[in-house]
Structure 1
Amino acid sequence: MTDERVGPSSTAGEREMLRAFLDFHRATLAMKCEGLSEEQLRRRSSPPSTLSLLGLVRHMAEVERAWFRRVLDGEDIPLVWSDSGDYQVAYDAGEASRDEAFAAWEAEVARSREIERAAESLDVTGYSERWEEDVSLRMVILHLIHEYARHNGHADFLREGIDGAVGV
């Protein structure tokens, strides 16, 4: 695995630091998937669980879309892989391809970055139907950092089980 991640500056302002931590975690997920075949990316953690590296990529595409596009930008769009709003569908990557999953995830990340950069401040809000309350851009970024950090822990174990690669 090639580690080309850039860590956040320890003296950056709040927004720059949050943005950098989120990008660091995005890069970590990509790095954990680097150099693996589609079969390896689809390998399940421990059946009956459908959790796999490719499933994590698909799930994070859904998370990016839900929080940035649907909540903050107010777009009336379905999830990427589920018309019913079931986030669990993305985890099942049994028939998924690397190209499809990464294209969707990269497109959602790019759109998320556009929405974040266009926002006047971290205090900009959107309405979360799921939580039934307004949420700030600050909270959304922190929530995504939490999501990526948690799932990158899963990715560590998944990658180690595939080829023994550890660390990072």
Structure 2
Amino acid sequence: MTWRAPEIVRTNESTVGDERTVVESWLDYHRQTLLMKCAGLTAEQLRTASVEPSALTLLGLVRHMTEVEAWWFRENFAGQRVDYPYFTPENPDADHDVSTADAEADLATYHHEVELARAAAAGRSLDETFIEVGPKKRTFNLRWVYVHMIEEYARHNGHADLIRERIDGVTGD
């Protein structure tokens, strides 16, 4: 039997609520949207590139967002040491190299990282600040992280929509 990415039931974003409820629901909406674009596809389809010369794939987007979740919520905001599953100093774009990737394992890693990101932000004020890891040392707050993550997912979900349409013609939100 051929493995396929699981179906996803996406919940609508909150249209009424306090700021935290709204930003968390929008982020979850976009997380689920990315997974919807993968739903029902085989590992081979998830590794299918968009159009030449681009190497962008649905699985590469999932792997990329796994590391973006870890970078902003855990490493930067929570100050945790993160062992990235794909990035290495020798190959910083390894998240997009899916030629030998295990799609099922990568989706499990994504789900796990989302849970770790939620835990890192749980009970923390949106106004809480941190200094960015790396040479720039900019100051951010948790609110900015949520807004940035929504933007990052929204942009990549547009890419995912086009890739999915190329693979099997499926379109939509």
For the superposition of Structure 1 and Structure 2, which TM-score range results when normalised by the shorter chain?
Answer: over 0.9
CA deviation map 1:1-56 (0-9, x unaligned):
96622222222110100000000000000110000011100000123322100000
- Distance in 2 (CA, whole Å) between partners of 1:115 and 1:129 is 16
CA distance in 2, matches of 1:139, 1:85: 30
Are the aligned partners of 2:128 and 2:142 in contact in 1 as well (CA < 8 Å)? yes
**1:94 corresponds to 2:112:** no
Equivalenced residues, count: 167
Structure 1 CA distance, aligned partners of 2:43 and 2:128? 39
Pair 1:36-2:41 in alignment: yes
- Change in 2 beyond 3 A, CA 1:141/1:85: farther
Q: Give secondary structure in 2 for the equivalent of 1:118.
A: coil
- Residue aligning to 1:6: 11
- C-alpha displacement at 1:99, in angstroms? 1.6
Q: Could you tell me how far apart the structure 2 residues matched to 1:15 and 1:107 are?
A: 22
Provide closer, same or farther for how the CA distance between residues 78 and 2 of structure 1 changes in structure 2, counting only shifts above 3 A.
closer
CA-based RMSD of the aligned residues comes to 1.8
1:125 aligns with 2:157: no
Task: Structure 1: state its 5+ residue gaps.
Answer: none
After superposition, residues 5-154 of structure 1 pair within 5 angstroms as 5-84=10-89, 87-119=92-124, 121-130=125-134, 131-154=136-159
What TM-score comes out, normalization by structure 2 length? 0.90
Q: Is the 8 A contact 1:59 1:87 kept in 2?
A: no
> Partners in 2 of 1:35 and 1:82 — Cα distance?
27
Percent identity over paired residues: 41
- The TM-score, its normalising length taken from structure 1, stands at 0.92
Q: Distance in 1 between matches of 2:104 and 2:79?
A: 28
Displacement of 1:86: 5.6
Secondary structure at 2:122 match in 1:
helix
C-alpha displacement of 1:103? 1.5
Paired residues of 1:50 and 1:93 also in contact (CA < 8 A): no
5+ residue gaps in structure 2? Answer: 1-5
